[in-house]
Amino acid sequence: MEIREEEFGKMIGGRKRVLYLCHKNADPDALGAAFSLREAFGGDLAAVEGVSKTGGSLLEAIGAEVLIDPSVEEYDLVVVVDTAVGLQIGDLPLKDYAVIDHHQEGDLLDGAIFQIQRAADSTSEIAWEILDKSGIGPSREAALALLVGIITDTGRFKHAQASSFRTVAEILERSDLDYAEALEVLSRVPTDTSRRIALLRAASRAEIEWKGEWIVVTSEVGAFEGSAAMTLVEIGADVALVGGAHGDLCRISGRARRGAVLAGLDLSAILEEVGRAAGGSGGGRPPGSRRPGGSGNPQGDPSRSQGSGPGGPGRAAAPRGRRSLPLRPFFSPLYAGTAGHFLHRWAALFSASIPGRRSPDR
Ligand SMILES: [Mn+2]
């Protein structure tokens, strides 16, 4: 059941033990939203498997502890935060649970007691609205956590809509925080050598193909597929697909240049089609597209368009100008062979599906 932000308190009210559960490798957006809700409504804060480096830096700044892989059966209600995809929480068997998320539809929505899932730049923004509509003023720590969540999920406002700026202004006005304090949290994140190496490897292993007038680049790395794909787009690809093997799964992240998306390239739709051809399952649509008349969102930054979660790649084709939501990377069973082998199959299917339209140069 989809509920409104102001109904959250009522929905959570009768539950004695509530767990706010963040996805694997919990980032500041998941942690910020979960922490502020936990603080406002009571309960425990947890993440599956662990938190990201930036997430760790945030936790240190706000002095919060997170339970890692707690026994979910001990809780009356589990609120899954910042994902609606079962695989992102290790396919935990959940009985009574809710979802608060800003991503595309996911497999967790069907069984949820209630959910708030809408197109927003971050889950932190939704959490802020829940607090605001409930008349709850967040602590300094919660305000800082939400702020860092919004900053990181918008790529430091590179992909931000007006509502994110508005929320940040509200947070700053109502807390005695300086914006610089949030930036300070982020500057404390240790430089990740393995990430730099992954990006350099992605560049050195890049295979470049002209598809019509598009430059399609594929590469393979051991980790940081999303960052690697973004880097390849930044240095010249119209479309970048980067794969990596993770156990018996292949994780593929795609990125497209903004100009290419504006010219009509819908990476998510293509990935969905390719995913079906490659044996994946169907994908979801952004929450806004479920409602008649659409969400009326302004154009987001399509360059963050990715393949999607384990429910399948991509979402339904978005009309030109529709906001592109941050989708999850695509996971697919890794058949015989390496990620590279699999990626080539993907790239070939992808190339066959890509429209031969030229982006305006910008
Ligand atoms: Mn998020």
Q: 283-297, pLDDT tens digit by residue? A: 333 333 332 323 333
Give the pLDDT score at 287.
31
Q: Determine, yes or no, domain membership for 359.
A: no
Give residue 89 CA to ligand 1 midpoint distance, Å: 14
Residue 267 Cα to ligand 1 middle (Å): 20
Cα of 336 vs centre of ligand 1, distance in Å, is 33
- How many whole angstroms from 149 Cα to the centroid of ligand 1? 8
Ligand 1 ion local residues (Cβ < 5 A): 29, 82, 123, 153
* Last-in-domain residue among 120, 155, 187: 187
Q: How far apart are CA 6 and CA 8, in angstroms?
A: 6
How many Å apart are CA 191 and CA 334, to the nearest integer?
31
Sheet holding 207-211: strands in order across?
207-211, 214-220, 239-246, 249-256, 330-333
For residue 45, the model assigns a pLDDT of: 97
**Between these two residues, 216 and 171, which has the higher pLDDT value?**
171
Pick from 133, 159, 187: which residue ends a domain? 187
Q: What angle do CA 126, 127, 133 make, to 5 degrees?
A: 85
Pair (270, 164) in one structural domain: no
Question: Do 176 and 235 belong to one domain?
Answer: no
pLDDT above 90 (res 17): yes
Distance 120 CA to ligand 1 centre (A): 9
Give the distance (Å) from ligand 1 centre to CA of residue 338.
30
* Per-residue model confidence as pLDDT tens digits over 126-143: 999 999 999 999 999 999
Listed residues 187, 212, 242: the one ending a domain = 187
Residue 146 has pLDDT above 90, yes or no: yes
Ligand 1 centroid to residue 348 C-alpha, Å: 31
Q: What is the mean pLDDT of residues 75-97?
A: 94
* 82 C-alpha to ligand 1 centroid (Å): 5
For residues 139 and 229, membership in a common domain is answered with no
Give the per-residue pLDDT at 307: 37
How many CB atoms neighbour CB 232 within 10 A? 26
Query: Which CATH number does the domain housing residue 133 bear?
Result: 3.90.1640.10
> Distance, CA 106 to ligand 1 centroid (Å)?
14
2-15 mean pLDDT: 93
Q: In angstroms, what is the span from residue 226 Cα to ligand 1's centroid?
A: 14
Residue 212 C-alpha to ligand 1 middle, in angstroms? 35
Q: Are residues 118 and 235 both part of a single domain? A: no
Number of domains the chain is built from: 2
263 — pLDDT class (breaks 50, 70, 90): confident
pLDDT over 80 (residue 52): yes
User: Range of 135's domain?
Assistant: 5-187
Give the tokens for residue 209.
């193909």
Cα Rg of the chain, angstroms? 20
What are the DSSP E strand ranges found in 41-161?
Answer: 44-47, 67-68, 77-81, 97-101, 114-117
Q: Note the pLDDT of residue 338.
A: 54
Cα(95) to ligand 1 centroid in Å equals 24
Q: Are 271 and 280 in contact (CB under 8 A)?
A: no
Q: Say how many Å lie between the CA of residue 101 and the centre of ligand 1.
A: 7
Domain membership of residue 273 (yes or no) is yes
Same domain, 234 and 131: no
Domain assignment present for residue 360? The answer is: no
Ligand 1 center from residue 259 Cα (angstroms): 24
150 C-alpha to center of ligand 1: Å? 8
In a domain, 358, yes or no: no
Gap from CA of 303 to ligand 1 centroid (Å): 16
Residues for the chain: how many in total?
362
| 242 in Cβ contact with 218 (< 8 Å) | yes
